[in-house]
C-alpha cells in the first residue's frame, strides 16, 4: 500500500516541525515520521542565531553571519536571506502560540540553568533575560526554591548571579498541593511539577505562597515549572503574583522546551499534517538516483511515498548520526558525512571544551540536498542539527540553523 504525500519529513524535532508547518500552511500534504522525543525537550526556553565567532561573543548576529565560511548552513541559505528568514521564524512561532522576545539584529542574553549569561536571539515570554552579558537588569532579586526540588543547582545559580552584580536572597517555599511528586525523592522535577500544577487551585496556591513570601516590590525569580502544554499557566502566574516574576531555566528535561515541542506538534496537526509518532524510518527505496519511498519499523509492509523528502533526524544524540566501528554514519540514506574515520579524533579530554564530535554532520550541496557518494539527491533535502558546517556549542547557532534551514527548504519545495 502506498500513501502519496507532497513532502515526507523524517524527524519531528524543531527543524522537522518548522519545515512541516511552513509547508502545511500552504495546503501541501505533509507527513512527519519521528522515533522519539527531540532535543527541544532539553532547550531552556531560548533560541540562538549566532552567539560566538572565533571565540568572540557576537552582539549583532546578522552582521556576523556575512563573515562565516561557505560551508556554514547560513551561507547555503544565503547570508543575505537570513534576516528575512529570522523574521519569518519568529512569526511562525507566534502563529503557533510561542511568543518570544528578541530580534536577529541584536542579541540579548539568556540565563542558563547554571546562572551564567549566553547570547540569545529569541527568549520565550516570561523567561529572565538581560540586555548585557556582564550584568543583570536588577540590582536585587529574590530567588524562590521549592523545597525538595532537584532540577535547580541553587548554589551555582546564586554564585553566578552574584558575580553579575545582583544581590540574591534565596527563599524556600513549600506548597503542600504541589508535593505529590515528593512521594518519590527523585520525582520532584520541573516537568512533574508542571504536570501536577495545571491551571487551577494548585497554581493559585503557588501564587498565594509567593505573595506571602515576597513583598511585591522585589523582583522574583522562579524555576520554569509552569506551562507544559501552552503558556497560559505562565501568563496566569505572572498575573496572580504581585511582584515582577521571571522564570529561570532548569536542568533538562525542560518545561519551556517541552512546551515548544508540544505546541509545534499540535499546530502542525491542526494544519492537517500527519504526525507518525514513535515510528522509525529504517528502509529507503531508491530509483534512478532519487528517493522513491520510505519504510518504517512499525509498518514494514507499507511504503510512504512523497514528491519531496526532508531529512531532519538530528545529530548523534537523536541518532541522526551513529558511531559505528567503521566510523560516523548517517544510518538511513548512508549520506556522505563530514567526520574523521579515526575514533581517537572524535573527542578529547576536557568535558566543557569544544569537542570534535560537535562538528560532525551530513554534507550537502549548495541548496541543502543530501549528497551520497559525492552526488546530490535532487528530491532529498537535509535540515537542522544533522547538517555539517556549524557547531551549536561553540558558535551558539543551534536553533537558528534549525529554523532557518527548515524555512529555506520549505520555500524551495514550494517554489
Residues that bind ligand FAD (CB under 6 A): 10-16, 33-36, 38-40, 42-44, 46-48, 252, 280-281, 312-314, 317-320, 332, 384-385, 392, 398-399, 402
Task: Quote the least distance from Cβ 110 to ligand FAD, whole Å.
Answer: 7
Between CA 83 and CA 80 the distance in angstroms is 7
Distance of closest approach, residue 183 Cβ to ligand FAD, in angstroms: 28
Work out how close the CB of 173 gets to ligand FAD at its nearest, in angstroms, rounded to a whole number. Answer: 26
Nearest to ligand FAD of 11, 241 (CB atom):
11
Residues 6+ apart with CB under 8 A from 369: 376, 377, 378, 380, 381, 382
Q: Which is nearer to ligand FAD, 26 or 36 (CB)?
A: 36
Q: How far is the CB of 7 from ligand FAD (least distance, A)?
A: 15
Query: 112, 126, 117: which is closest to 42 by C-alpha?
Result: 112
Pairing of strands 274-277, 30-34: parallel
In whole angstroms, how close is the CB of 264 to ligand FAD at the nearest point? 10
With beta carbons less than 8 A apart as the criterion, state whether 320 and 385 touch.
Answer: yes
Is the Cβ of residue 39 or residue 142 nearer to ligand FAD in the bound state? 39
Give the shortest CB-209-to-ligand FAD separation in angstroms: 28
Nearer to ligand FAD, 202 or 359 (CB): 359
Cell numbers found for residue 133 = 552579558
Q: CB–CB of 249/224 below 8 Å? A: yes
Query: Cβ closer to ligand FAD: 189 or 202?
Result: 189
Cell of 95: 502563529
b/e burial code for range 166-188 (CB count within 10 A of at least 16 → b): bebeeeebebeebebbeeeeeeb
Q: How many CB atoms sit inside 10 A of residue 31's CB?
A: 20
Phi, then psi, of 7 in degrees rounded to 5: -135, 135
In whole angstroms, how close is the CB of 140 to ligand FAD at the nearest point?
A: 26
> What are 10's three cell numbers?
523524517
127 phi/psi in degrees, rounded to 5? -75, 145
Half-sphere exposure of 114 (CA within 13 A, CB side): 3
Please identify, using beta-carbon distances, which residue of 233 and 256 lies nearer to ligand FAD. 256
Nearer to ligand FAD, 111 or 243 (CB): 111
Amino acid at each position: 500500500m502506498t500513501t502519496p504525500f507532497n513532502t515526507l519529513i523524517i524527524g519531528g524535532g524543531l527543524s522537522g516541525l518548522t519545515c512541516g508547518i511552513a509547508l502545511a500552511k500552504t495546503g501541501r500534504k505533509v507527513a512527519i515520521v519521528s522515533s522519539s522525543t527531540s532535543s527541544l525537550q532539553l532547550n531552556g526556553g531560548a533560541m540562538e542565531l549566532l552567539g560566538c565567532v572565533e571565540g568572540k561573543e557576537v552582539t549583532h548576529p546578522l552582521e556576523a553571519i556575512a563573515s562565516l565560511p561557505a560551508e556554514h548552513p547560513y551561507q547555503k541559505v544565503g547570508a543575505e536571506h537570513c534576516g528575512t528568514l529570522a523574521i519569518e521564524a519568529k512569526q511562525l512561532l507566534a502563529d503557533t502560540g510561542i511568543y518570544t522576545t528578541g530580534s536577529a539584529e541584536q542579541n540579548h542574553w539568556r540565563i542558563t540553568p547554571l546562572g551564567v549569561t549566553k547570547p540569545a536571539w529569541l527568549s520565550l515570554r516570561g523567561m529572565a533575560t538581560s540586555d548585557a552579558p556582564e550584568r543583570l537588569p536588577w540590582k536585587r532579586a529574590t530567588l524562590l526554591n521549592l523545597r525538595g526540588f532537584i532540577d535547580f543547582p541553587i548554589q551555582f545559580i546564586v554564585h553566578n548571579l552574584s558575580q553579575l552584580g545582583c544581590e540574591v536572597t534565596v527563599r524556600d517555599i513549600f506548597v503542600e498541593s504541589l508535593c505529590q511528586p515528593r512521594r518519590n525523592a527523585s520525582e520532584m522535577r520541573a516537568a512533574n511539577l508542571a504536570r501536577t500544577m495545571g491551571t487551577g487551585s494548585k497554581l493559585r496556591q503557588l501564587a498565594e505562597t509567593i505573595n506571602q513570601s515576597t513583598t511585591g516590590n522585589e523582583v522574583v525569580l522562579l524555576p520554569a515549572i509552569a506551562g507544559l502544554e501552552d503558556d497560559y499557566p505562565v501568563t496566569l502566574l505572572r498575573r496572580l503574583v504581585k511582584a515582577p516574576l521571571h522564570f529561570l531555566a532548569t536542568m533538562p528535561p525542560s518545561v519551556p522546551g517541552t512546551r515548544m515541542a508540544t505546541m509545534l506538534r499540535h499546530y502542525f496537526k491542526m494544519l492537517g499534517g500527519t504526525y507518525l509518532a514513535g515510528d522509525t524510518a529504517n528502509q529507503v527505496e531508491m530509483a534512478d538516483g532519487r528517493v522513491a519511498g520510505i519504510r518504517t519499523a512499525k509498518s514494514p509492509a507499507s511504503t510512504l511515498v512523497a514528491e519531496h523528502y526532508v531529512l531532519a533526524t538530528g545529530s548523534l544524540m537523536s541518532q541522526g548520526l551513529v558511531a559505528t566501528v567503521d566510523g560516523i554514519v548517517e544510518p538511513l540514506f548512508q549520506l556522505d558525512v563530514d567526520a574523521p574515520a579515526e575514533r581517537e579524533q572524535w573527542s578529547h579530554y576536557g568535558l566543557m571544551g569544544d569537542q570534535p564530535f560537535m562538528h560532525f554532520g551530513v554534507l550537502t550541496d549548495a541548496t541543502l540536498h543530501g549528497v551520497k557518494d559525492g552526488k546530490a539527491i535532487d528530491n532529498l533535502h537535509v535540515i537542522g542539527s544533522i547538517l555539517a558546517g556549524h557547531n551549536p556549542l561553540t558558535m551558539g547557532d543551534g536553533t537558528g540553523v534549525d529554523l532557518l534551514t527548515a524555512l529555506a527548504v520549505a520555500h524551495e519545495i514550494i517554489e
